Structure 1
């Protein structure tokens, strides 16, 4: 029996559900990060003491930077998952873009937006040097 060149429609359907669940969760997390950044859950109680304000500004800037970075990573993750859904529709999902072989299901369950197998990733790293 020759090696499979793509996942079956049933298998793709299973991956689609997994990815849709991950998108929903990641979107909720992204929205929470954005709500915090925009102070949507704030009590609107401003501390007017200048000493307190000065001490908090450095910490606040650092926290906002971390949240901004987290939001950017989460958005990139969501975009990767949405691209995976396009590959499912095109029936190219799960095919390593380096080797052309199927990416193992275990890897796709762990990293559903993966476009390379471990073998393909190692080959890319060797080329880069």
Structure 2
């Protein structure tokens, strides 16, 4: 059995463990995106029919800001979902957990914390 420094990829059993972590994060992320989308759709319905006077301007501005923030959250959530789905593809290809800069295995602790990462901390630190 090769030790960790010689290991070039995670075993099928390890990949399955990561797959389960990613699938759970994906399920939660999709639920959150669905809630954000519903929130945006509800605010659209309320915002268009309101024809009250100018005293509503401040409230409208606040609603617009809230809508923009919700849009940004939804966009980030979509990107997170895309990254998780790409990680599932890497699991299927058996390339998951290999740093795209160094070619070394990304430590399990980092993958558990950020399961969609493609960079080891060593490579990530070089970006700054």
- State the TM-score bracket (shorter-chain normalisation): 0.7 to 0.9
Per the TM alignment, residue 48 of structure 1 is displaced from its structure 2 partner at its CA by 5.6
Conserved 8 A contact 1:23-1:81: yes
Q: 2:84 — aligned with what? A: 81
Aligned: 1:6 with 2:42: no
* Structure 1 gaps, min length 5: none
CA distance in 1, matches of 2:76, 2:96: 22
* Alignment-derived partner of residue 101 in structure 1: 104
Match of 2:35 in 1: 32
User: CA offset at residue 97 of structure 1?
Assistant: 0.4
Output one character per residue of 1:26-49: Cα deviation in whole Å (capped at 9) or x when no partner. Answer: 000001001000008x79xx7664
Partner of 1:71: 74
Per the normalisation by structure 1, the TM-score is 0.87
- Matching of residue 58 in structure 1 with residue 61 in structure 2: yes
TM-score (norm 2): 0.87
CA RMSD of superposed structures (Å): 2.0
Which of 30-39 and 50-59 deviates more?
Answer: 50-59
Which segment is superposed worse, 106-115 or 46-55? 46-55
Deviations 1:94-128 (A, max 9, x none): 000011000000000000000010011123x26xx
Question: What 5-or-longer segments of structure 2 have no aligned partner?
Answer: none
Structure 1 stretches of 4+ with a deviation exceeding 6 A read none
